Chain A
Amino acid sequence: MTALDHARTGSDATERPRRSSLLGQSLVIVRRNLIHIKRMPEMLLDVTIQPVMFVLLFAFVFGGAIGTAAPGGYREWLLPGIMAQTIAFSSFIVAVGLTSDLEKGIVDRLRSLPISRAAVLVGRSLSSLIHSSIGIVVMSVTGLAVGWRIRGGVADAVLAYGLLVLFGFTMIWFGILVGSAMRSVEAVNGLMFTTMFPITFVANTFAPTEAMPRWLQVVAEWNPISSLVQATRELWGNVPPAGPDAAFPLQHPVLMTVVWSVVLTAAIAPLAIRTFVRRTEG
């Protein structure tokens, strides 16, 4: 053995992989997911062109026909709704990404490594949150362009964005559940389109709930999306606080957004983890 060979063997011995942390492992997976976006920028259509199109459609096509109490007009009223819809759709992003990785055997490859098995889900969740946050930034800029303004204080404005992210986490668990349960990306698309559109529409996102039939109005008022939308609208100063005759969740929208996020996460997360484990262990 030559000296060079010996030196190399020696260095190999010290290269025994050191133990990396769950966060470190998750960040590697996040980076891999972001490379995917770089390779296929069209993956971002759902948080760029699509919500911008919604803003334009609702602001200019339906806007004139929808009466709102917002002092800044319908467009200002609409923007928080679209933001909430965008963040709700982060579940879609998680589900599609997870199903695709499961289908292609990537999840198995990652699970065969000496890493924390949570890293796959944490990495997927974090990258989806980044993905959705791009949407929130795009929406804020689009909003500013069509006349939406933040009229409240800085702290309130930050809190509103914080609530969006919090609710995003809840939706990510829903996405993990759907992604683990579905066998193909096509199935995820089908299921998510048929559930997420009604869930985000039967709320105060695009039109005031007052004009809905009474029963539907109750559903809409208790829809967690409505609490989130009402909270962000009030915190950004787009609408005055709901009056004493409004439904309970709309009178306490910030509190209810937090409650909904915690309750839904507590209900969905264990189910999502169980479904994921059953799918991957099988």
Chain B
Amino acid sequence: MRDDQPAVAAYDLVKRFGDTVAVDGVSFSQPRGSVLGLLGPNGAGKTTTVRMLATLTTPTSGTGTVAGHDIVTGGEGVRRSMGLTGQAATVDELLTGRENIWLIGSLYGLDRQTVARKSDELLERFSLSDAGNRVVKTYSGGMRRRLDLAVSLIAAPPVLFLDEPTTGLDPRSRVELWEVLRDLVREGTTLLLTTQYLEEADQLADNIVVIDKGRIIAEGTPLQLKEQAGAASVVLTVSHAEDLPEAERLLRECSPEVHVDVGARQLTGQADGLADMTRVAARFDESRIVLDDIGLQRPSLDDVFLHLTGHRAEVEDPETEEEAS
């Protein structure tokens, strides 16, 4: 791989399943030693994109490269250069942590001594030394993800694909895993991670590609995206649904744009920061409207989505990732 070559690149990748277009012309290019976040809701085509790049599924059209190897014509080279972890590939529950590393290491063709030495190193590094001889079934979610990563690192691949690496993890395990990933990047590994969480992309990614219904709808640095998504917002929940029209009128006095969710008895308005929210809170305090809740919401993936597409992120495609794979 030459230095100026991208570590991972996609060129107009398309994947169709029957009539459904899961990925519809995705292109991006990622320099070495950087982190690309593929951000989007369930069913957006993130996993399918990763599966194509990892040569688990063949693109309907278009292609890509991983460490300079073409994913359509150079599958073997791609598989030698990358590790895959997360949703699309997982660890063996009936094996111990050490055996999981042994399994993948042996398949890479590493000899027994090397596998043994490297498993010690990897288990140590991911704080799994004590659990190394325990069956994975007994591991917590965070331990599993760490083992999953350890397994992917046995052959020290220059590129690592992480498919929703922290989905289902508690906040502490999530932060711990982020730390581990940052270490990897410092050592020169290129990461491509998919996530549903803007915060995660924000924390880790140098560049974010937002994808919805198989298409790229935005890309840029985390900062650029957040600016696009607009300022923070104030969210109110009224206690009685009949107060909604009055509440909307009140909120409009403070915010030119108001979004009303009748089902949730919730109103969302613009707010630049805490001062704005306090102003809204004071205005409602003077009124007879009873509130269940009021809070400041920083831009979330949902807001980025609402802003970019006009629909909410949790609206799932009929074809979910699960069915598509």
Residue A190, interface by CB 8 Å: no
Contact B57–A281 (Cβ < 8 Å): yes
Selected from B58, B90, B110, the residue in CB contact (under 8 A) with A17 is B110
B56 beta carbon closer than 8 Å to chain A: yes
A239 to chain B, nearest CB (A): 43
As a 0/1 sequence over residues 113 to 151 of chain A, the CB contacts with chain B under 8 angstroms (1 = contact) are 111000100000000000000000000000000000000
Assess whether A19 is interfacial by the CB under 8 Å rule: yes
Q: Which of the residues B88, B106, B109 comes within 8 Å of A19, measured between beta carbons?
A: B109
Q: Indicate whether B76 reaches chain A with its CB closer than 8 angstroms.
A: yes
A residues in contact with B94, CB < 8 Å: 35-36, 39-40
Q: A35-B99, A114-B76 are in contact. Are A109 and B93 (CB under 8 A)?
A: no
Which of B6-14, B79-87, B171-179, B285-293 lies at the interface? B79-87
Q: Report B131-187 residues with CB < 8 Å from chain A CB.
A: 135, 151, 155-156
Interface residue? A280 (CB, 8 A) = yes
A106 to chain B, nearest CB (A): 6
Chain A residues with CB under 8 A of B206:
none
Q: Which residues of B contact A29 (CB under 8 A)?
A: 107
A152 to B89, CA, bound (A): 52
Contact with B along A18-30 (1 / 0, CB 8 A): 1110001100110
Shortest C-beta distance, B78 to chain A (Å), equals 9
Contact A105 B55 (CB under 8 A): no
| Contact partners of B260 in chain A: CB under 8 A | none
The minimal Cβ–Cβ distance linking B234 to chain A, given in whole angstroms, is 42
Chain B CB within 8 A of A243 CB? no
Q: Are B93 and A104 in contact (CB under 8 A)?
A: yes
A113 & B107 in contact (Cβ 8 Å cutoff): yes
Which residues in chain A, 34-70, are within 8 Å of chain B measured between CB atoms? 35-36, 39-40
With A39-B135, A108-B56, A281-B57 already in contact, the answer to whether A115 and B92 are too (CB < 8 A) is no
Given contacts A108-B89, A109-B89, A112-B56, contact A28 B106 (CB under 8 A): yes
Closest to B113 in A: A15
Contacts of B99 in A (CB 8 A): 32, 35
* Identity of the chain A residue whose Cβ is nearest the Cβ of B57 in the assembled complex: A281
A281 touches which one: B58, B91, B92, B103 (CB < 8 A)? B58
Q: Give the chain A neighbours of B93 by CB distance below 8 A.
A: 104
Contacts A17-B110, A105-B90 given; indicate if A32 touches B95 (C-beta within 8 A).
yes
Q: Which residue of A lies closest to B76 (CB)?
A: A114
Q: Is the CB of B79 within 8 A of A282?
A: no
CB neighbours of A17 from chain B (8 A): 80, 108-110, 155
- In the complex where A108-B56, A282-B17, A282-B325 touch, is A115 in contact with B90 (Cβ < 8 A)? no
A110 at the interface (CB under 8 A from B): yes
Q: Separation in Å of the B67 CB from the closest CB of chain A?
A: 12
- In the complex, which of the residues B93, B104, B108, B110 has the most CB atoms of chain A within 10 Å of its own CB atom? B108
Q: What chain A residues lie within 8 Å of B104 (beta carbons)?
A: 109, 113
Contact bitstring A86-118, B, C-beta under 8 A = 1, else 0:
000000000000000000111011111111000
Q: A282 to B155, alpha carbons, bound, how many Å?
A: 27
Cα A32 to Cα B93 in complex, Å, equals 11
In chain B, what residue has the closest Cβ to A280?
Answer: B56
A25 to B89, CA, bound (A): 18
A104 & B90 in contact (Cβ 8 Å cutoff): yes
User: Is B56's CB under 8 angstroms from A28's CB?
Assistant: no
Residue of A nearest to B324 (CB): A282
Report A78 CB to chain B, min CB distance, Å: 35
Residues of B within 8 A of A25 (CB): 107
Alpha-carbon gap, A108 to B54, bound state (A) = 10
Indicate if the CB atoms of B107 and A28 lie closer than 8 Å: yes
| Given A17-B110, A36-B94: A282 and B57 interface contact (C-beta under 8 Å) | yes
Q: Chain A residue with minimal CB distance to B15?
A: A282
Whether, in the assembled complex, B114 has its beta carbon less than 8 Å from a beta carbon of chain A, the answer is: yes
Within 8 A of B (CB), among A205-237: none
> Are A108 and B95 in touch, CB under 8 angstroms?
no
Distance between A236 CB and nearest chain B CB, rounded to angstroms: 37
A40–B151 Cα distance when bound, in Å, is 23
* Interchain CA distance A114-B77 in the complex, whole Å: 8
List chain B residues, Cβ under 8 A from A20. 106-109
In the bound complex, how far is the Cα of B282 from the Cα of A17, in angstroms? 67
Asked if A112 meets B84 with Cβ closer than 8 Å, knowing A32-B92, A40-B94, the reply is yes
A: residues with CB less than 8 A from B are: 12, 15, 17-20, 24-25, 28-29, 32, 35-36, 39-40, 104-106, 108-115, 119, 280-282
- Can you name 26 A-B pairs with beta carbons within 8 Å? A17-B109, A20-B107, A28-B103, A28-B106, A29-B107, A32-B92, A32-B99, A32-B103, A39-B135, A105-B88, A105-B90, A108-B56, A108-B84, A109-B84, A109-B89, A109-B90, A109-B104, A112-B56, A112-B82, A113-B107, A114-B79, A114-B80, A114-B108, A115-B79, A280-B56, A282-B324
Closest 8 CB pairs of A and B: A109-B89, A105-B90, A17-B109, A20-B109, A114-B79, A17-B108, A112-B84, A114-B80
Apart from A32-B99, A112-B56, A115-B79, what are 7 other A-B pairs with CB-CB below 8 Å?
Answer: A20-B109, A28-B103, A39-B94, A109-B91, A109-B104, A111-B56, A115-B107
